[in-house]
Structure 1
Amino acid sequence: MLQEFKDHIAAHFSFLSGSRLLIACSGGLDSVVLTEMCHSLKFEFGVAHCNFNLREEESDGDEKFVKSLAERLSVLFFRRSFDTEKYAKDHDLSIQMAARELRYGWFRELALEFQYDYVLTAHHADDNLETFLINLSRGTGLDGLTGIPEVNEIFVRLLLPFSREEILDFATEKNIQWREDSSNKSTKYLRNKLRHDVITELKAIHPKFLHNFKNTLDYLKQSKDFIQSQLVHLKKELFITSEIDIVKIPINKLRNYGNPRTCLYFLLRDYGFTAWDDIEQIVTAQPGKQVFSETHRLVKDRDYLLLSPIVEEISDREYLISEEEQTIMIPPGTIKFRKVSEIVQKDFKTIYVDKEKLKYPLTVRKWKAGDYFYPLGMKGKKKLSKFFKDEKLSLLAKERVWILCSEKEIVWIINYRADNRFKITPQTKQLLKITIT
């Protein structure tokens, strides 16, 4: 097994060469064998042990055993004692999830403080199978059926191709000692129940069950990789980013793919959405229908679904600008005021006005229902709501419109249109250039 382990590292983990490693060692069979093999391959590593104080004297015995192992191998030993039950209660977690949060958080701290490049954990093929079955029982998607990742941030699992039986045979052959965790025998935990009652029976029915499972896992990973490559193409086809921070998804194009729910799942899952029934229904809902995740929202507009980050509500805030101010930073951007002698640039981010027509302080605020202005180049007035409709602004774009006002009169719909009442005329004596960036 040691040679297979060495070949596996050479083929898939060449980046570990010359790295400083930290091995998470509980004292059990898997982590002790991992530690012994890394020592045989002359890796530079330290050993970290968590005492979760869940099994009284047995937990302390595990700690002493791992400390002794580290001393025998002449490697650094780190230990931390946790009040796991209190942490679980304070954070409303199961004991297993509390222990997981505590150990992974501590491993990250150690790696940062002592400059370890990677943390090695001893997950193996049987752990992968148990995780697969747990996720399957909970109704997971494809991500949950592709097993434990070999590399996840700084965490590396070198034993995933090897079964518990292979690890046990190696330990027996090399006369390696380890500690037995009595809690592993209890079937009150789901993982243990699967291990002892379900997987044992599956292996008895089909002796090559674990081998076949590993093949299936490879197929699922290949399928996931294929979907990811297609997702890149799908986003190019369906994601339109014509407005700031807003992604537009054309509904007709989405329907052409035949299964909008599946497409939306892959398109939106990275944005934290979970209410897939609501998201499926939003395609045919009336404009204005919204679905939220913790970080984003999806809005049904006329012909599009609009995806945007959730921003802090600041619609009631107004900003006053004195005549002396030349630059002000506000939510729509940085606005600059400069006296100039000629007009050299005109676009939707720059306007020129007759300074003498302004009444200070100027105000920048969000637009409100009932607001109207006199569009530059036109004689009559127009409500902003009508202007937005004519400009085909989306619901989200309208929410983000700010206006520059002189007293109650609109000077500029920022980023869109200036007001005719403040335009430059032959009688203008002072030109004021206003720019937003």
Structure 2
Amino acid sequence: MLKAFKEHIELKFPELLREHFLIACSGGLDSVVLASLCKELGLQFSLAHCNFGLRGNASDGDEDFVRTLANSLNSPIFITHFDTLGYVNQHKVSVQMACRDLRYTWFRQILEEQQISLLLTAHHANDNLETFIINLSRGSGIEGLTGIPEKAQYLRRPLLPFTREQLEAYAQSNAIHWREDSSNTDTKYLRNKIRIDLVPTLKELHPTFTENFKNTLHYLQQTNTIANAYLEQLKSELFVPHEDGYKIAIEALKGLHPLTTYLHGLFYEYGFRELDNLEALLDGLTGKQLRSNSHVLVKNREFLLLSPIHKENESDFYTIDEGVENLSSPINLKFSEVSERLDNSKNIIYVQKNTLNFPLTLRKWRKGDYFYPIGLNGKKKLAKFFKDEKIDVLSKEKVWLLCSNDKIVWVVGMRADNRFKVVSSAQKILKIEIT
């Protein structure tokens, strides 16, 4: 196996021959064999072990074992302890999901702090089979049936071509010891049930099942590569860059057949899974929207607008005290007193300073907002103003309003309010500009 592993690394993971990397090590067979193989090849790595505190003395025993292993391999080691059940109660997730969230957050922290670019996990061919069956049982497109990726961002999985039986044979022939997690035999967990009950039955039905499955996975991956190449070409034609996202013509989408299949392929990577809702959006009213965990899709007349969801850490309400000259957040504004007024533009307005009540505020628009646009007679609802200016739904959410008390002074970057216009050069004039 060492020879096969060496050839696999040289062919698929040459970066591991040059870089120091991190190995996630639980102390179980898979990660211990991975660390041992890397050591035999003379690769440079550190170990990272998580103690989730779920099995009492057994968890502490795993930690001690990995410490000893790191010492025998002459490898640096990182160890952390988690209050896993506390995380479960706080975030209302399963224990398995909590462990995943906690460990990968910690792994990324190590990579950043230690300036290490790659993390190796010990997923192998049996894990691929279990993942395939799980996705098959839940209902999946081809992307869920192509197996665990060998490379994904900072992750590398060099053991995927090898079965657990191969790993165990290598460990036994090289007198490599490992820790057994008793929970691995508990069939209340889906993966364990598949591994213990289902896979042996499949192998009984066909003696070469494991090898056949690897071939099937390879063919599916090839087919997926071809399909993705076509979808990327289609996206380059249909997805027109628009602000920080895309604008997609609805009629062009409706011309694709079978429609649901294309919608799945085009929007799956953005987190949209409910195809019925996605198809209904095409005929929905302007303003109707769908949200995934990462993106929002909005119907805007004859287009769909696709944009990432920005997780704002700041409030949508800001105050500006009198005397402030420069504002850098949430937008860049400059305030200066001038002796004469020039014409307003989209980026510069002039206001009569004594009409303002400080502190001014910056906020997003709300339903029912109105102002008195310069150049028009009377007031106008902001929603109607946006419609007349052909401002789409997503763009409206990004507009800032500069206000004095509850009165809008400026729809920033668009139109000033008539109530604050300069009527006398004898009074102080405030110039406000976007910088």
Q: Same fold (TM over 0.5)?
A: yes
CA contact (8 A) 2:50 2:79 kept: yes
Name the SS for the 2:100 alignment partner: helix
Corresponding residue number in structure 1 for 2:203: 203
Which residue does the alignment assign to 2:12?
A: 12
Q: In the alignment, residue 41 of structure 1 is paired with which amino acid?
A: L
- Distance change >3 Å, CA 335–CA 278, structure 1 → 2: farther
1:306 match: 305
* 1:292 matched residue in structure 2: 291
Give the length in aligned residue pairs: 429
Per-residue CA distance 1:349-370 (angstroms, 9 max, x = gap): 346x6x7798445977748758
Instruction: Please give the alpha-carbon distance, in whole angstroms, between the structure 1 residues aligned to 2:4 and 2:179.
Output: 25
> 1:188 Cα deviation (Å)?
2.6
**Secondary structure of 2:279's match?**
helix
Cα displacement (A) at 1:4: 0.9
What's the CA shift for 1:89?
4.6
Q: Hey, what's the Cα distance between the residues in 1 that align with 2:100 and 2:86?
A: 14
Displacement, 1:392? 2.9
CA distance in 2, matches of 1:139, 1:284: 26
Are 1:24 and 1:119, in contact at CA under 8 Å, matched by a contact in 2? yes
Three-state SS of the structure 2 residue aligned to 1:249 is: strand
Give the secondary-structure state (helix, strand or coil) at the position aligned to 2:161.
Answer: coil
Is 2:392 the partner of 1:394? Answer: yes
TM-fit CA distance, 1:132: 1.6
- Residue equivalent to 1:160: 160
Structure 2 partner of 1:191: 191
Query: Quick one: percent identity of the two aligned structures?
Result: 46
Find out whether 1:219 has 2:219 as its counterpart. Answer: yes
By how many angstroms is 1:389 displaced? Answer: 4.1
Question: In the alignment, is the contact (CA less than 8 A) between 1:358 and 1:406 conserved in 2?
Answer: no
Where structure 1 has 5 or more consecutive residues not aligned to the other structure, the ranges are: none
What residue is the counterpart of 1:96 in the other structure? 96
How far is the alpha carbon of 1:320 from its aligned partner?
7.1
Counterparts of 2:55 and 2:400, CA distance in 1: 62
CA distance in 2, matches of 1:411, 1:88: 48
Contact 1:25–1:48 (CA<8 Å) still a contact in 2?
Answer: yes
Question: Which residue type is aligned with residue 158 of structure 2?
Answer: L
Change (3 A) 1:180 1:396: closer
Distance 1:258 1:113, change over 3 A: same
- State the alpha-carbon separation in 2 of the partners of residues 16 and 155 from structure 1: 12
Write the deviation string for residues 93-124 of structure 1: whole angstroms up to 9, x where unpaired: 43433333444444445545555543332221
The match for 2:282 is 283
Q: Deviation digits for residues 237-262 of structure 1, max 9, x if unmatched?
A: 333445x5564332112212235544
Say if 1:49 and 1:304 are closer, same or farther in 2 by CA, change over 3 A: closer
| Amino acid in the other structure paired with 2:29 | L
Query: For residues 435 and 190 of structure 1, do their structure 2 counterparts lie closer, same or farther at Cα, with a shift above 3 Å needed?
Result: same
Q: Distance in 2 between matches of 1:56 and 1:406?
A: 61
Cα distance, 1:227–1:369 mapped onto 2, change above 3 Å: same
**Structure 2 unpaired stretches of 5+:** none
Inter-partner Cα distance in structure 1 for 2:372 and 2:133: 63
- Correspondence 1:42 to 2:42: yes
Larger radius of gyration: 1
CA–CA distance in 2 between the matches of 1:92 and 1:403? 38
Aligned partner of 2:288: which letter? K
The reply to whether residue 257 of structure 1 matches residue 256 of structure 2 is yes
Q: Distance in 1 between matches of 2:329 and 2:34?
A: 56
Using the TM superposition, give the Cα deviation of residue 11 of structure 1 relative to its aligned residue in structure 2, in angstroms: 0.6
Instruction: Classify the secondary structure of the residue corresponding to 2:38.
Output: helix
- State the Cα distance separating 1:91 from its structure 2 match: 4.2
Q: How does 1:17-416 map to 2 (within 5 A)?
A: 17-55=17-55, 58-59=58-59, 61-80=61-80, 84-85=84-85, 87-112=87-112, 116-242=116-242, 244-245=243-244, 247-294=246-293, 296-308=295-307, 309=309, 327-328=326-327, 333-337=332-336, 339=338, 348-350=346-348, 359-360=355-356, 366=365, 369=368, 371=370, 373=372, 376=375, 383=380, 388-398=386-396, 401=399, 414-416=412-414
Letter in 2 for 1:126: N
**Counterparts of 2:85 and 2:407 in 1: how far apart (Å)?**
63
- Separation in 1, partners of 2:409, 2:186: 74
Shift of 1:222: 3.3
Q: In the aligned structure 1, how far is the partner of 2:316 from the partner of 2:97?
A: 42
Alpha-carbon displacement from aligned partner over 1:45-85 (angstroms, at most 9, x marks no partner): 34444444555555555445444444444434555555655
Greater shift, 258-267 or 166-175, is seen at 258-267
**Distance in 2 between the 1:248 and 1:173 partners?**
59
How far off its partner does 1:145 sit? 2.3
- 1:191 alignment partner, SS class: helix
CA–CA distance in structure 2, aligned partners of residues 252 and 167 of structure 1? 54
- Call closer, same or farther: CA 1:6–1:398 in 2, change over 3 Å: closer
Distance 1:42 1:388, change over 3 A: closer
Q: 1:319 to 1:116 in 2, by over 3 A?
A: closer
What amino acid sits opposite 1:236 in the alignment? S
Q: C-alpha displacement at 1:9, in angstroms?
A: 0.4
8 A contact 2:353–2:430 mirrored in 1: no
Taking the aligned partners of 1:428 and 1:347, their CA distance within structure 2 comes to: 19
Residue 292 of structure 1 aligns to which amino acid in structure 2? R
Cα distance in 2 between the residues matched to 1:273 and 1:381: 44
Relative to structure 1, is the Cα distance of residues 421 and 103 closer, same or farther in structure 2, using a 3 angstrom cutoff? Answer: closer
Distance 1:80 1:38 in 2: 23
C-alpha RMSD over aligned residues = 4.4
